[in-house]
Every structure is written in C-alpha cells, then in structure tokens.
Chain A
Amino acid sequence: DAGVIQSPRHEVTEMGQEVTLRCKPISGHDYLFWYRQTMMRGLELLIYFNNNVPIDDSGMPEDRFSAKMPNASFSTLKIQPSEPRDSAVYFCASSRGEWTGEETQYFGPGTRLLVL
C-alpha cells in the first residue's frame, strides 16, 4: 500500500499567487481530511469529505480557501490569492469505514508551503 500521497512536498510562492495542493488517499478509504499545522495553532482540521462529499468545512479559514474531491482517489486544496500568513505545513489524511472514533487516520507526508 502506497499510503496517502501528497504533492508537491514543498511549495514557495509569492503573495497573491494561486496555490494548489494535491492529495491521493489510500484506496478504499471513504474519508479524506485536510489539516494545517502551524506553530501557533498546532494541527487544525480544515475540511473533511465522506465519499467525495464535503461534510464539514467549518475549519476553512476564509473564502480564499477551497477544497474539492472530484473522485475517490483525488482531492485538491486551493488557496487563491495566497498570503504570507498561509505559510504552514498542510497534511492530507484518510480513513475507512463509518467513523466511530476508533478509525485510525493515515496521514500523508505533508506539503510545506511558504508564501513570500
């Protein structure tokens, strides 16, 4: 099993540019999560999908952030326009089955984003 795949691993961009982060979940997993890690706030959930449908996007910081999951094997997180305060590590995670609190979330390696 290849695990959760994220690309790119590193992204450096200038303020105002559009940034697109990509994620391929583990095959067979029904849930996909996007997280952001910063020193100040730690690891925070941005949005999650169940069977490709967004379920809870209350963690998305503002309208500049959007996420899509066009099929079971691919999701994107887009920031447009990007700002320096968006600099963080963005993780994608997936899990299987009906969430009972006991399902383990498997994380990708993360995308380290730096907005200049």
Chain B
Amino acid sequence: DQQVKQNSPSLSVQEGRISILNCDYTNSMFDYFLWYKKYPAEGPTFLISISSIKDKNEDGRFTVFLNKSAKHLSLHIVPSQPGDSAVYFCAASARGNNRLAFGKGNQVVVIP
C-alpha cells in the first residue's frame, strides 16, 4: 500500500516558469520529508528536505512546503531550467524508523 503518493506522473513547463510537484502521504507518524531527483541511467540524488516542525524550506530555486493537517507537501522550482528535466521522487520517514517510503515519481520536462 502506497504511503506516499505522487499523482500527475508527468509535467511539462516552459523554461523560466514555475514547476510545482505535489505529494500526499497517509502515515501520520511521518515527520521528515525529502525530495530526490533522478536523471536517466543514474541513481536518485538528494534535493531538499523538510522536518515536520517547519512548513517551508528553501534552497536556491527549490522550495518545499509542508501542510501537516492535509498530509500534503509540494516542491516548487522557480525558475525552471532545462537541466531540471528529470524524475522527482517524494519520500518520507518516521523518527526512529530507518525506512524511507518513496512515491512513484513525477517526470518533469522543461521546454527551452
């Protein structure tokens, strides 16, 4: 059973515009959330994370928002660049539990 869900498997966006990726989770024990980025033929690489004590974390062009009451988080990429074209995975973990639960991923295509 998917505890982390990413709908809208693919997203196309014009270069310079905002990309918004959404992620929903079902396990209320999750208290740490991460986004990973994956290029073809490579492993996922860590992008940005957020603890449940925060509702926003920003790192350069990437911002993650967390809405605990809705069990929802989103990743904003502004401005989008062609190099951002990749698959983005949402992941979550519960304190004291070493497991990361991943979503199925969102394909982002940034059009030059």
B40-48, B64-72, B78-86: which one contacts chain A?
B40-48
Interface residues of A in 65-116 (CB under 8 A from B): 91, 93, 99-102, 104-110
Residue tally, chain A, CB below 8 Å to B: 26
* Cβ–Cβ contact A102 & B32, under 8 A: yes
* Cβ–Cβ contact B32 & A105, under 8 A: no
In the assembled complex, the CB of A12 is this many whole angstroms from the nearest CB of chain B, namely 16
| Chain B residue at minimal CB-CB distance from A50 | B98
* Cβ–Cβ contact B43 & A104, under 8 A: no
In the assembled complex, the CB of A5 is this many whole angstroms from the nearest CB of chain B, namely 11
The yes or no answer to A56 lying at the interface (CB within 8 A) is yes
Which of B43, B51, B89, B100 is packed against the most chain A CB atoms within 10 Å?
B43
The yes or no answer to A21 lying at the interface (CB within 8 A) is no
* Cβ–Cβ contact B98 & A31, under 8 A: yes
Chain B 67-111 interface 0/1 with A at a Cβ cutoff of 8 Å (1 = within): 000000000000000000000010001110111111111000000
Q: A108 — which chain B residues lie within 8 A by C-beta?
A: 43
Q: Could you say which of B2, B95, B103 contacts A100, with CB atoms under 8 Å apart?
A: B95
* Cβ–Cβ contact B46 & A43, under 8 A: no
Q: Could you say which of B49, B51, B95, B105 contacts A43, with CB atoms under 8 Å apart?
A: B105
Q: How far is the CA of A48 from the CA of B98 in the complex (A)?
A: 8
Q: A102 — which chain B residues lie within 8 A by C-beta?
A: 32, 49, 51
Q: Could you say which of A4, A48, A107, A110 contacts B99, with CB atoms under 8 Å apart?
A: A48
Q: Could you say which of B43, B93, B95, B97 contacts A91, with CB atoms under 8 Å apart?
A: B43
Q: B49 — which chain A residues lie within 8 A by C-beta?
A: 102, 104
The yes or no answer to B55 lying at the interface (CB within 8 A) is no
- Could you name 8 residue pairs across A and B whose Cβ atoms are closer than 8 Å? A42-B89, A43-B104, A50-B98, A91-B44, A99-B97, A106-B46, A107-B36, A108-B43
What is A's interface to B at a CB cutoff of 8 Å? 4, 31, 33, 35, 41-45, 48, 50, 55-56, 91, 93, 99-102, 104-110
